[in-house]
Amino acid sequence: MIKGVIFDLFGTLIKVESLFLGIAGEIAAQTGKEVHEIEKKIHTLYNKHFLNYHLKEFQPERHYYQKVFKELKNEYKLAYTADWYVDYAYDTFSELRQYNDANFLNDLKQSNFKIAILTNADSFFVRNCIEKNAIAFDKLIISEEVRAYKPSEQIFQIALDELKLKKEEVVFVGDNINVDVLGGNNFGIKTILIDREDSKECYPKVTNLYQIAEFIR
């Protein structure tokens, strides 16, 4: 019997399509460069420095973002320190808005399901973002605080321990096949892909969080 649902955060509950637009806009204003050029460059550097970071010795995400903005600082001759730009980016991450279907978590709470949020991210913007969106949850597991990233079994076990549930009593929902789906399945819990664009080959999957109800009855 399913008693709890564990959710990934960014890309699952929180919109990330414009993740770097805020910081790109600030850098564009400082440099006179085009916003989308800066945004594209940040994405390129993000993919470079975050490649397989969850498989390496643990470092907070800030460690990798510092590398991203150090390169940007050198390339665009930015006026402030890399940490200044990381802090600015983190402030913009805090303002990201939830998907409309994230209100499904309120339905789960009212139906007495336990809810955990499990995220590969840093505490500052995670907690601010969740608070500003008033997302319903019982337990929050943040990689920076537990010093582990998905897809490690360690972080999934922490989520179960926090919920005081067994593997067969939960489902996990995430938007990333390699980190979320494979991580959850390898740990031994049923995992559902959220694929709002219906563009990925994976089963089970949903295109709207409300469809999860079919898997937890």
Residue 174's pLDDT is 98
| 60 and 112 fall within a common domain | no
Exposure letters 126-142 (e unless 16+ CB within 10 A, then b):
bebbbeebebbbebbbb
Domain around 53: 21-94
| 125 and 206 fall within a common domain | yes
Residue 176's pLDDT is 95
Domain count, the chain: 2
The CATH code of the domain that includes 161 is 3.40.50.1000
| 87 and 162 fall within a common domain | no
Q: pTM for the complete prediction?
A: 0.95
Check if the beta carbon of residue 45 is closer than 8 Å to that of residue 72: yes
Q: Which amino acid is at 22?
A: G
Q: Which of 67, 94, 121 is the last residue of a domain?
A: 94
| 74 and 102 fall within a common domain | no
Distance (Å, whole) CA 68 – CA 144 = 18
| 80 and 102 fall within a common domain | no
| 119 and 144 fall within a common domain | yes
186, HSE (Cβ side, Cα atoms, 13 Å): 14
| 128 and 141 fall within a common domain | yes
SS3 letters across the chain:
CCCEEEECCECCCECCCCCCHHHHHHHHHHHCCCHHHHHHHHHHHHHHHCCCHHHCCCCCHHHHHHHHHHHHHHHHCCCCCHHHHHHHHHHHHHCCCECHHHHHHHHHHHCCCEEEEEECCCHHHHHHHHHHHCCCCCEEEEHHHHCCCCCCHHHHHHHHHHHCCCHHHEEEEECCHHHHHHHHHHHCCEEEEECCCCCCCCCCEECCHHHHHHHCC
| 127 and 201 fall within a common domain | yes
Q: Which of 60, 94, 128 is the last residue of a domain?
A: 94
Low-confidence ranges of the chain (pLDDT < 70): none
Token pair for residue 69? 């903005």
Residue 55's pLDDT is 84
Q: Which of 94, 124, 152 is the last residue of a domain?
A: 94
| 25 and 77 fall within a common domain | yes
Residue 217's pLDDT is 83
| 175 and 76 fall within a common domain | no
Residue 160's pLDDT is 97
How many other CB atoms sit within 10 Å of the CB of residue 189? 20
| 211 and 107 fall within a common domain | yes
Is residue 102 packed enough to be buried (19+ CB in 10 Å), middle (13-18) or exposed (0-12)? buried
Residue 197's pLDDT is 95
| 149 and 77 fall within a common domain | no
